Structure 1
Amino acid sequence: MDYRFEEDKELADHAIDVLVRSQELSSDVQQFLDYLAVYQSEAPAILPIKTSDRIEMIKIDDLVLIDVDGPSLILETLKGRYIITDRLYKFKERLNNSDFVQVSKHGLININHLEALEASFSGNMLAILTGKRKADVSRRYLKNLEQRLGL
């Protein structure tokens, strides 16, 4: 990837114009565009979640693991477990936080709570998280996790 800065006095104050050029709209290009979109928006520090009987305020930093269980999402935090009714992709959009990486069709982990990755059966990996929590990492999502970890 090549990048450079060009000064343009005709732009309005505090305006930034970004042009991404490539031969095609590859997955790497799309990932970079997605990164730029997330960079511009502000990630919340606290996320309200609606349980069956109340609304809880969860600190994003305390959220360790999100896993799908049928029509529900299980949120594993440092302070306990919450079960909510939501879709994984919608919850991920609400989080708007690049620290959360999808590791399977049904799970997200907070990489700040990742302690180790262990080999599992059939080429999958097992993520060991804070508090001895575990999450399966499917082969399909492993490359993305490794990139996010800088491997």
Structure 2
Amino acid sequence: MDYRFEKDDSLRPGAVEVLVRSQELTADVQGILAYLSRYDSKPPVILPLKTNDRLEMLKVDELVFVDVDADSLILETLKGRYIITERLYKFKERLNNPDFIQVSKHGLININHLQALEASFSGNMLAILTGKRKADVSRRYLRHLENALGL
């Protein structure tokens, strides 16, 4: 990947224009575009959660991992567990946080709470998280996790 800076006096002060060129629209290109679209937006610090009987305010940095159970999401936090009714992709959009990586069709982990990765008997990996919590990492999503970790 090549990148460079070009000065352009025709732009208004403070403006930045970014152009991404490639032969094809690959997953890497889409990743770069997604990163650029999130660059200016700050992830929320507190996320409202609507449970069955109340509205909870979750501190995002306390969220360890998210898992799907039928029609519900199970949110494991440092202080306990929340069960909400929301689609995983919608919840991930609301999080808008690069620290949360999808590790399977049914799970997200907060890489700030990742302590180790172990080989699992099924050929997948097992993420060991804060508080001895465990989450499956499928082979299909392992590359995304490795990229997020800088490997």
Unaligned runs of 5+ in 1: none
Q: What residue in structure 2 maps to residue 81 of structure 1?
A: 81
Deviations 1:32-86 (A, max 9, x none): 1111111122211110110111111111100000000000000001111000000
Map residues 19-58 of structure 1 onto 2, 5 A cutoff.
19-58=19-58
For residues 143 and 44 of structure 2, what CA distance do their matches in structure 1 show?
Answer: 27
> 1:122 offset after TM fit, Å?
2.8
Q: CA deviation at 1:129?
A: 0.2
3-state DSSP of counterpart to 1:123: coil
Name the aligned partner's letter for residue 2 of structure 1.
D
Counterparts of 1:53 and 1:17, CA distance in 2: 47
Deviation string, structure 1 residues 92-113 (Cα, Å, up to 9, x no partner): 0000000000000000000000
For 1:81, the aligned partner's letter is R
**Percent of aligned pairs with the same amino acid:** 75
Q: Does 1:7 align with 2:7?
A: yes
Residue identity opposite 1:73 in structure 2 = L
Instruction: Name the residue aligned to 1:59.
Output: 59
Is 1:139–2:134 an aligned residue pair?
no
| SS of equivalent to 1:121 | coil
Match of 1:104 in 2: 104
Q: Structure 2: where are the runs of 5+ without partners?
A: none
Tell me how far apart the structure 2 counterparts of residues 147 and 115 of structure 1 sit (CA, whole Å): 16
Matches of 2:26 and 2:93 in 1, distance apart?
22
Which residue is 1:72 aligned to?
72
Residue matched to 1:129: 129
Q: SS at 2:53's partner residue? A: coil
Runs (4 or more) in structure 1 with deviation over 3 Å come to none
Q: Distance in 1 between matches of 2:144 and 2:95?
A: 18
Give the RMSD, CA atoms, in angstroms.
0.7
TM-score, normalization by structure 1: 0.98
Secondary structure, counterpart of 2:30 in structure 1: helix
Question: Normalized against structure 2, the TM-score is what?
Answer: 0.98
Aligned length: 151
Paired position in structure 1 for 2:148: 148
Aligned equivalents of 1:52 and 1:16: distance in 2? 45
